[in-house]
Amino acid sequence: MKQLFFYLCLTLIFLSGTQALASGSKMGKNQDGKSSTISEIQISDMDGNKNGSISFEEFKAAFPSIKQNVFDILDKDKDGQLNKMEWQIFQEMHKGMGG
């Protein structure tokens, strides 16, 4: 259950991170104060060099408060990039927590 707690912490980090992403006007639909949810964010929204995966630098650009160890947890195969599948795993996890 320790891991579950950790993912809850992750969600809090992400929720504060999505505010930054939304205010970057990329999403352009949060004028009424509604925040973007994790499940609405696509790889392509973060993929600065359009190679189909997210480096830590790209990830941090979208979520300035993110830490390397958080990225490492999401990076299941440890190749230093988040691919679509790894991102979807996190999105599913997030949905499972009622977010």
- Which residues of the chain form contacts with Ca ion (CB under 5 A)? 47, 49, 51, 75, 77, 79, 81
Q: Which is nearer to Ca ion, 29 or 76 (CB)?
A: 76
Nearest to 67 by CA among 22, 6, 19: 6
Instruction: Establish how many alpha carbons lie within 13 A of residue 27's alpha carbon, considering only the half-sphere containing its beta carbon.
Output: 23
What 3-state DSSP class applies to 54? strand
Q: What's the min distance (Å) between Cβ of 68 and Ca ion?
A: 14
Q: Which is nearer to Ca ion, 79 or 92 (CB)?
A: 79
- Non-local CB neighbours of 42 within 8 Å, separated by 6+ positions: none
Task: Give the span between the Cα atoms of 78 and 1, in whole angstroms.
Answer: 23
Q: What's the min distance (Å) between Cβ of 81 and Ca ion?
A: 5
Q: Which is nearer to Ca ion, 36 or 53 (CB)?
A: 53
Q: What's the min distance (Å) between Cβ of 20 and Ca ion?
A: 18
Q: What's the min distance (Å) between Cβ of 86 and Ca ion?
A: 5
Return the axis-axis angle of helices 84-96 and 2-23, rounded to nearest 10°: 110
Q: Which is nearer to Ca ion, 75 or 90 (CB)?
A: 75
